[in-house]
Copies of this chain bind each other. A is one copy, B any other.
Amino acid sequence: MISRPPRPRERGIPEATVARLPVYLRALQALQDRGTATISSEDLAGAAGVNSAKLRKDLSHLGSYGTRGVGYEVEYLVYQISRELGLTQDWSVAIVGIGNLGRALANYGGFGTRGFRIAALLDADPEVVGRSVASLDVRHIDNLEEVVRDKGVSIGVIATPAGSAQGVADRFVEAGVTSILNFAPVVLNVPDGVDVRKVDLSIELQILAFHAQRRADGDGPGAAERAGLEVT
């Protein structure tokens, strides 16, 4: 029903909390779809794979949105978290590098259940430019600045080979894009004020290998200690 008075809300939500809010949001949306109206921190924590104290502390950073003795109203929490994450507005995304990965990203429909809109697909390869992917024409990378301006792109996704990534990042930054999601296996250099996040398959595999080796090595003392751990 989303009708309670808007809360004052403190500044400065911890980074670790921000990283978990999308997980809570997804769990809440699933509950909403199932028609659940209210949920306790214990149950929501279970669905999100964290412990309940952490969940309560996280939510407390957004304001006092629960009811003691009862729990949280699902619909209201969905709204509050969405608003906090900036999902009540639409973000325009451009993807550069329409190889296998770029295509996978372009076709990935459920972009967090709304909040994001793919505005353009760009590539340098004349073989790829002009093709239609996910009902969008792939345009040449030379149009990057124009596309960013005309479509109001605020998030740039880099899915190019490693060698091209820094150049694309530079052009994004130059064009005024201050949020970049990088899938290329390189460390990007960007000026202050630009926010880069990276997703790196081989790093994740290497971390898994490290723990797997630990389990095989030591086996005995404190072997299964890191069970169920997730990316943080």
Contact = CB atoms under 8 A, between A and B. Distances in A.
Nearest to A214: B86
A207 B19 CA distance: 6
Given A100-B100, A115-B206, A199-B231, A192 B224 contact: yes
Nearest to A26: B185
25 contacts: A19-B203, A21-B210, A22-B206, A47-B187, A49-B187, A49-B188, A85-B210, A86-B210, A86-B213, A91-B205, A99-B104, A100-B100, A103-B104, A112-B206, A116-B202, A155-B205, A178-B212, A181-B201, A181-B208, A192-B228, A193-B215, A193-B224, A195-B228, A196-B229, A197-B204
Contacts of A179: 208-209, 211-212
A21 to B, nearest CB: 7
A187 B44 CA distance: 12
Contacts of A154: 212
Interface of A: 11, 15, 18-19, 21-23, 25-27, 47-49, 84-87, 89, 91, 93, 99-101, 103-105, 107-108, 110-113, 115-116, 154-155, 178-181, 185, 187-213, 215, 218, 223-224, 226-232
Stoichiometry (number of copies) = 2
Contacts of A187: 23, 27, 47-49, 230
A180 B206 CA distance: 12
A111 B224 contact: no
A93 to B, nearest CB: 7
Contacts of A215: 178, 193, 195
B99 A209 contact: no
B111 A205 contact: yes
Given A85-B210, A112-B202, A210-B84, A227 B191 contact: yes
